[in-house]
A and B are shown apart, each in its own frame.
Chain A
Amino acid sequence: TQLLEQSPQFLSIQEGENLTVYCNSSSVFSSLQWYRQEPGEGPVLLVTVVTGGEVKKLKRLTFQFGDARKDSSLHITAAQPGDTGLYLCAGAPMDSSYKLIFGSGTRLLVRP
């Protein structure tokens, strides 16, 4: 069974601080997606990374896919209260890329 371990589970920081969320697996993925989910809503796609070592930036968010395509990280610079939410990583397995494997999520709270 493929698993995605996401850490930390909870993170409470002050506005302006930086943070990193990690997503790790022993399995190789064909691609990896990061989502953000608000309470009572569905996950919203933030980014997809496909190539080992790939780095993508979305304003203050930086996403990296590990060289071996087994892990990924999300770094937020100068966090703002609007960044508060649940961040989920989801990997597409090599043999069944449609069957996304989700991490359990990182719940981020940014205090003003």
Chain B
Amino acid sequence: NAGVMQNPRHLVRRRGQEARLRCSPMKGHSHVYWYRQLPEEGLKFMVYLQKENIIDESGMPKERFSAEFPKEGPSILRIQQVVRGDSAAYFCASSPLGASYNEQFFGPGTRLTVL
């Protein structure tokens, strides 16, 4: 029984390149969340998605960042024209539909390094 899966686990990009981070939620989960963790800091909410819908992207930078959760396939967090400040661990979490309170289960993360 697989948990939340993320790939790649490590990603190195040069400034100006694009980074694509993928997340497959737990089986039966239809809600996906993305968080960012800077070194020695807690996780910060970025975006909440359901299938084909962005519910809340208030934590996402206005430019260069986008997220999607298509009908088929994993959720994608896309960062265009990466800068050094984008270096961080990006975590995806999922939760089931109709949960009485919000328990989120996290993947192992993608560690992005921008050179």
* Partner-B contacts on A (CB < 8 A): 4, 6, 30-31, 33, 35, 40-45, 48, 50, 88, 90, 92, 96-105
A43 to B4, CA, bound (A): 11
A90 to B43, CA, bound (A): 9
B55/A42 in contact, CB under 8 A: no
**A/B pair count, beta carbons within 8 Å:** 68
Q: Return the contact of A42 from the options B58, B95, B109 (Cβ within 8 A).
A: B109
Known contacts A98-B33, A98-B56; A43 and B106 CB within 8 A of each other: yes
Chain B interface residue bracket vs A: 20 to 34
* Partner-A contacts on B (CB < 8 A): 4, 6, 31, 33, 35, 40-45, 48, 55-56, 58-59, 91, 95, 101-109, 111
Pick the most buried of B40, B42, B56, B111: most chain A CB atoms within 10 A of its CB. B42
Known contacts A42-B91, A97-B101, A99-B56; A104 and B31 CB within 8 A of each other: no
Q: Return the contact of A102 from the options B31, B42, B58, B111 (Cβ within 8 A).
A: B42
Closest to A49 in B: B101
Contacts of B103 in A (CB 8 A): 33, 45, 48
A25 to B79, CA, bound (A): 32
Q: Return the contact of B102 from the options A4, A98, A104, A105 (Cβ within 8 A).
A: A98
Known: A30-B102, A48-B101. 6 other contacts (CB 8 A): A30-B101, A42-B91, A97-B101, A99-B58, A101-B45, A105-B42
Closest to A105 in B: B42
Pick the most buried of A43, A45, A48: most chain B CB atoms within 10 A of its CB. A43
12 contacts between A and B (CB under 8 A): A4-B42, A31-B101, A40-B109, A42-B108, A43-B91, A45-B105, A97-B102, A98-B48, A98-B102, A100-B43, A102-B44, A105-B42
B43/A43 in contact, CB under 8 A: yes
A98/B31 in contact, CB under 8 A: yes
Contacts of A4 in B (CB 8 A): 42
A44 to B4, CA, bound (A): 11
Contacts of B105 in A (CB 8 A): 45
